[in-house]
């Protein structure tokens, strides 16, 4: 069965454009992503345990940050990679699951991350490292923070003094950044609508109102796609009456399993 395809040309339009029967169905899940993953998703669905990008590249960035004892300049870089992409203990790196949301506006926000949340965070993290090398004030600020907050400060300070090692590792990451930027050229946001039935053990709900699904979602479960040819302007998330009703529905669904 062909999926419903809708085009939203206005980047500031936050209204759910799907037909009423989809908009009013609280069991529908949405997923915001990018056109670079469109063919894979529509052919194979959302497959668990598989990364659409090389997880080794993500770990290279994380490992350098942690070797430096640094969290970066922007919260959307290293912090997203460590805590959202791979998890505090790398548990998501080993068992990649897919995230969805019953709230269309939130999926639309996720679609504003060019190439997806992880690639966006990788590019931000690498740019922060580039700034670190070029900005003496930032380096001094970080070294001062290490001295004030780490009991094992000598370990980190010795690493930070090894400028050749840092320059070489960051140089490799900059090559990676160029590759991903080229991959994203011409990329546009998309939002998928999914209709499926989940058992209790197959999903969890986090505080950001994401539904993390730990089983595959078949391509045949995709019922619609919204294309944004002119991009998406991200909005500040807020909870309205509709979203409160959605949360209540999913909380009750989870608790109904006992």
For the stretch 71-118, pLDDT in tens is 999 999 999 999 888 888 877 767 677 889 999 999 999 898 877 788
Kindly state the tokens that stand for 47. 């497959």
Answer yes or no: are the C-beta atoms of 217 and 46 closer than 8 Å: yes
- DSSP letter string, 82-106: IIIII-TTSHHHHS--EEEBS-HHH
pLDDT at 51: 65
The phi-psi region of residue 166 (left if phi > 0; otherwise alpha if psi is between -120 and 50; otherwise beta) is alpha
CA–CA separation, 123 vs 181, rounded Å?
8
The pLDDT value given to residue 204? 85
The segments of the chain whose pLDDT lies below 70 read: 1, 49-52, 93, 95, 207-208, 237-239, 257-258
The pLDDT value given to residue 69: 94
Widest CA span of the chain, in angstroms? Answer: 62
Q: Which of 239, 223, 247 is nearest to 102 (CA)?
A: 247
């Amino acid at each position: 069965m062909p999926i419903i395809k809708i085009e939203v040309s206005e980047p500031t339009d936050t209204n759910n454009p799907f037909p009423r029967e989809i908009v009013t169905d609280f069991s529908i899940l949405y997923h915001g992503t990018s056109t670079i993953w469109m063919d894979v998703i529509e052919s194979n669905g959302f497959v668990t345990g598989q990364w659409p990008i090389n997880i080794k590249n993500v770990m290279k960035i994380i490992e350098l940050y942690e070797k430096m004892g640094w969290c970066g300049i922007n919260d959307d870089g290293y912090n997203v990679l460590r805590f959202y992409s791979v998890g505090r203990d790398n548990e998501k790196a080993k068992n990649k699951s897919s995230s969805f949301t019953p709230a269309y506006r939130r999926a639309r926000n996720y679609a504003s991350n060019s190439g997806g949340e992880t690639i966006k965070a990788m590019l931000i993290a690498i740019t922060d490292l580039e700034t670190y090398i070029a900005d003496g004030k930032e380096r001094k600020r970080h070294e001062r923070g290490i001295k004030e907050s780490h009991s094992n400060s000598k370990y980190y300070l010795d690493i930070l003094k090894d400028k050749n090692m840092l320059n070489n590792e960051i140089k490799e990451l900059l090559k990676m950044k160029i590759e991903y930027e080229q991959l994203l050229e011409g990329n546009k946001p998309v939002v998928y609508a999914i209709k499926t039935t989940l058992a209790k053990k197959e999903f969890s709900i986090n505080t950001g109102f994401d539904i993390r699904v730990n089983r595959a979602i078949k391509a045949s479960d995709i019922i619609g796609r919204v294309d944004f040819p002119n991009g998406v302007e991200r909005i500040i998330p807020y909870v309205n009456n509709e979203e409160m009703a959605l949360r209540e529905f999913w909380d009750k669904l989870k608790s109904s399993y006992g």
